[in-house]
A and B are shown apart, each in its own frame.
Chain A
Amino acid sequence: MIRFTELYHAVDATTKTNEKISAIANYYAAALPEDAAWATYFLSGNKLKQLVPTSSLRKWAAEEANIPSWLLDESYHAVGDLAETLSLVVPSGTIVDDLSLSQWIENRLMPLRNMNEPAKREVITMIWKQTSAKMRLVIMKLITGAFRLGVSKRLVTRAIAEHSGVSADVISHRLMGNWKPTPAFYERLVDPDLQDALSSQPYPFCLAHAINTELETQSIGGCEEYFAEWKWDGIRGQVIRRASKSFIWSRGEELMENRWPEIESAAASLPEGTVLDGEILAALPDGKVLPFSQLQRRINRKTVEKKLLVEVPVVFQAFDLLEQDGIDIRSLPLTERRSRLETLMSNLEHPQLMVTQLLDGKSWSDWATIRETSRDMAAEGLMLKRKDAPYATGRVRGTWWKWKVLPYSIDAVLIYAQKGHGKRASLYTDYTFALWDGDKLVPVAKAYTGLDDSEILKVDRFVRQNTKEAFGPVRSVTPTLVMEIAFEGIQRSTRHKSGIATRFPRIKRWRHDKNPVDANTLQELLAMLP
Chain B
Amino acid sequence: MDALLQSTERGLYCPTGDFYIDPQQAVQRAIVTHAHSDHARPGCRSYLAAQSSEQLLRMRMNDDAALEFLPYGKSLTINGVGVSFHPAGHILGSAQVRLEYRGRVAVISGDYKLGNDPTCESWQPVKCDLFVTESTFGLPVYRWQADETVKDSINDWWRESRDTGKCCVLYGYAIGKSQRLLASLDPTTGPIYTHGAVEKGCEAYRAAGVLLPETTYVGTVTGKNDWVGAMVIAVPSAHGTPWMRRFGLVSTAMASGWMAVRGSRRRRSVDRGFVMSDHADWPSLLTAVEACDAETVWVTHGYSAAVARFLQEKGLDARAIDSSTRSESDEDEIAP
Contacts and interface: CB of A to CB of B under 8 A. Distances in A.
A484 interface: no
Nearest to A458: B329
A78 B262 contact: no
Given A89-B140, A467-B323, A74 B306 contact: yes
Interface string A436-469: 0000000000000000010001001100110100
Contacts, number: 85
Contact of A81 (B262, B267, B327): B262
Interface string B110-151: 000000000000000000000000000001111101000000
A81 to B, nearest CB: 7
Interface residues of B, number: 28
Interface in B251-289: 260-264, 266-267, 269, 271-273
B69 interface: no
B28 to A, nearest CB: 27
Interface in A462-482: 464-465, 467
A85 B262 CA distance: 10
A293 interface: no
Contacts of B145: 92
A68 B263 contact: no
A464 B325 contact: yes
A12 B142 CA distance: 20
A12 B262 CA distance: 9
Contact of B327 (A91, A420, A464): A464
Q: How large is the interface on A (under 10, 10 to 19, 20 to 34, 35 or more residues)?
A: 35 or more
A426 B141 contact: no
A4 B143 CA distance: 24
B29 to A, nearest CB: 27
A68 B143 CA distance: 17
* Chain A CB within 10 Å, residue with most, of B263, B303, B323, B329: B263
A88 to B, nearest CB: 4
Given A453-B267, A465-B324, A92 B143 contact: yes
B136 to A, nearest CB: 12
Contacts of A461: 327, 329
B313 interface: yes
Contacts of B327: 427, 457, 460-461, 464
Contacts of A422: 263, 266
A84 B139 contact: no
A150 B263 CA distance: 12
A298 to B, nearest CB: 37
A423 interface: yes
B329 A426 contact: no
A523 B310 CA distance: 47
Contact of A71 (B140, B269, B272, B273): B140
B141 A89 contact: yes
B200 to A, nearest CB: 26
A67 B303 CA distance: 15
A424 B310 CA distance: 26
Contacts of B266: 12, 150, 422-423
Contacts of A464: 324-325, 327
Interface in A55-96: 65, 67-68, 70-72, 74-75, 78-81, 84-85, 88-89, 91-92
A96 B314 CA distance: 35
A13 interface: yes
Interface of B: 139-143, 145, 260-264, 266-267, 269, 271-273, 303, 306, 309-310, 313, 323-325, 327-329
24 contacts: A12-B262, A13-B271, A14-B271, A67-B310, A70-B309, A71-B306, A71-B309, A78-B141, A78-B303, A79-B263, A81-B262, A84-B261, A84-B262, A92-B145, A137-B262, A150-B266, A420-B263, A422-B266, A423-B263, A427-B263, A427-B327, A457-B327, A464-B327, A467-B324
Interface of A: 12-15, 65, 67-68, 70-72, 74-75, 78-81, 84-85, 88-89, 91-92, 137, 150, 420-427, 453, 457, 460-461, 464-465, 467
